[in-house]
A and B are shown apart, each in its own frame.
Chain A
Amino acid sequence: MRQWRQDGPFEMTIDSDLEAVLLVQDAIALQLKSCHFEDREIFGIRLALEEALVNAIKHGNREDRGKKVRIELCVRHDRVEIGVADEGPGFEPEKVADPLAEENLERPSGRGLLLIRHYMSEVTYHPPGNRLTMSMVRVHGNGNGK
């Protein structure tokens, strides 16, 4: 895993290796902790990041180690912005089956996007769908990050 580039927003590029995901999460969680984000906020960001990175590596790059995933992080006192980009062909998020539909409740997969949207304030997939930007706007005083 490459190190953060720290001139401006943090930026990191990783191989399409699922083992790297936890290391990225730990690095970002540490960064958030040092900026006094609350545990509840870090929980949601961490989960959203997990889902986004796994999607990028598994579905975007199809675990091709020759392809990279780029992660951008910008932490401000009132919000955090995260970008995740893979080298895959992209996808259309609106075509993902609704995991809350009765007929899909017992499907073992397809909940990642739902969780990302729940925990983050803004989520955008940029055409052709291989770059995601998401942000959490902090609500000061009650520890509710969304």
Chain B
Amino acid sequence: MSSQPKRRRLEVEDIGDVTVVNFTDKKILDEQNIQVIGEQLFSLVDELGRRKILLNFRNVEYLSSAALGKFITLNKKVGGSGGKLVLCNIDPQIFEVFQITKLDKLFKIEKDEQSGLQSF
């Protein structure tokens, strides 16, 4: 199969000094997409110097362990630059994945975007 073009997988909006990221995909499952999502997330920190990032999962219905790996790496990058990463609007089924893997202890997770913004 031919490789897909790298279309934008994220919608990025600045609210105050917080960068709010929405995912355009409902399924963050397949490796090809996850690779692109990772690159686009990391560029927010590495190239654009964003320090306060809020990941909004309102569109996301599925994600895999490979996606979790990208969020962990992003968390390290943001933390390493003195910033903060917060996750919000996580569907209960997906939140269970965070609980199974104990990543609910690693990440700062808020109920919705409003509380996420207030947590910085």
Contact = CB atoms under 8 A, between A and B. Distances in A.
A111 interface: yes
B1 interface: yes
Interface stretch (B9-17, B50-58, B61-69, B82-90): B61-69
Given A22-B27, A108-B72, A115-B101, A46 B32 contact: no
Interface residues of B, number: 26
A96 B27 CA distance: 27
B43 interface: no
Contacts, number: 69
Interface in A11-46: 17-22, 25, 40, 43, 46
Interface of B is mostly: helix
B29 interface: yes
Interface residues of A, number: 28
Interface string A67-101: 00000000000000000000000000000000110
A19 B32 contact: yes
Contacts of A51: 64-65
A118 B93 contact: no
11 contacts: A19-B32, A21-B29, A21-B31, A47-B64, A51-B64, A51-B65, A54-B64, A105-B105, A106-B106, A108-B72, A114-B101
